[in-house]
Amino acid sequence: MAFQLRLNAAVAVDVVVLTVRADTLCALAVRRRFEPNRGGWALPGGFVLDGEDLPAAALRELTEETGVSLDRMHIEQLATYGDPGRDPRGRVVSAVYLSLAPALPDPVAGSDAAGAEVLPVARLQAEGLAFDHSRILDDGVDRARAKLEYTPLAASLCGPEFTVAELRRVYQAVWGTTLDPRNFHRKVTSTPGFVTPTGRTTARDGGRPAELFTAGTADYLHPPLLRPR
């Protein structure tokens, strides 16, 4: 007697894409075209296809719904949400991925979405998100805040080349704090593998040109860059 697998849930993926725009922590959201919560905001996502890996499904749904493609950007699994009541349509278990992306091109809504935008996290949380997506977004922000302490991932939120001041503004936007520019500069440039100098400088108006850096090679910061408590 062979074991017969019983399909007991609809597995979905959602994506929290965080980015910094105008010194403000923003997230990518879509307007729902269908019930439940039609017309409201939600995280981009959808159901996994047969034979499709979870990360691949996350990237596919993201592109389908928002036109955003995350090639070469940081993406990691955030958590999985499977509360029986989280989706009124039935048992949906959603694996959620977190991406930290530099300045994104303006998203374009796909056929499943009535709109797609990059909005400040605070505004999204004030307006509320469908399902348990408000909670998920919170979890994503918490994770990002923590990871900035002990990884060089903040560089993922900058462009390919960036200045120390840009990196500092990323930290400030994500953490919601201010950081001393002098101490931050010393910390960033003295932590091995955090950033790599390019030798080039920015052309700036009305100030000394800043040195340009690329992301370093380290996976973790030693010692970490702890946020003020």
Write out the residues near DNA by the rule CB under 7 A: 163-165, 180-183, 185-187, 189-190, 201, 203-211, 223-226, 228
Rounded Cα–Cα distance for residues 226 and 152 (Å)? 12
Q: How far is the CB of 204 from a second copy (least distance, A)?
A: 37
Partner that binds at residue 111, options DNA, a second copy, none, CB closer than 5 to 8 Å by kind:
none
Q: How far is the CB of 76 from DNA (least distance, A)?
A: 24
Kindly tell me which of 112 and 117 has the beta carbon lying closer to a second copy. 112
Partner that binds at residue 207, options a second copy, DNA, none, CB closer than 5 to 8 Å by kind:
DNA
* Residue 171: C-alpha distances to residues 8, 23, 145 (Å): 42, 9, 9
The string of DSSP codes covering 130-175 is STTHHHHHHHHHHHHHHHHHHSSGGGGGS-SSB-HHHHHHHHHHHH
Which H or E run includes 186?
Answer: helix 181-190
Partner that binds at residue 95, options a second copy, DNA, none, CB closer than 5 to 8 Å by kind:
a second copy
Q: How far is the CB of 194 from DNA (least distance, A)?
A: 11
Q: Which residues of 182-208 are buried (b: 16+ CB within 10 A; e: fewer)?
A: eebbebbeebeebbeeeeeebeeeeee
Kindly tell me which of 160 and 209 has the beta carbon lying closer to DNA. 209
Q: How far is the CB of 26 from DNA (least distance, A)?
A: 21
Q: How far is the CB of 180 from DNA (least distance, A)?
A: 5
Pairing of strands 24-32, 41-42: antiparallel
Give the closest residue to 48 by CA, choosing from 93, 113, 107, 109: 93
Give the closest residue to 138 by CA, choosing from 126, 150, 151: 126
Partner that binds at residue 211, options a second copy, DNA, none, CB closer than 5 to 8 Å by kind:
DNA
113 - beta bridge partners? 32
Partner that binds at residue 39, options DNA, a second copy, none, CB closer than 5 to 8 Å by kind:
none
Q: How far is the CB of 59 from DNA (least distance, A)?
A: 34
Give contact residues for a second copy (rule: CB under 8 A): 3, 5-11, 34-35, 47-54, 77, 79-80, 82-84, 89-93, 95, 222-224, 226, 229
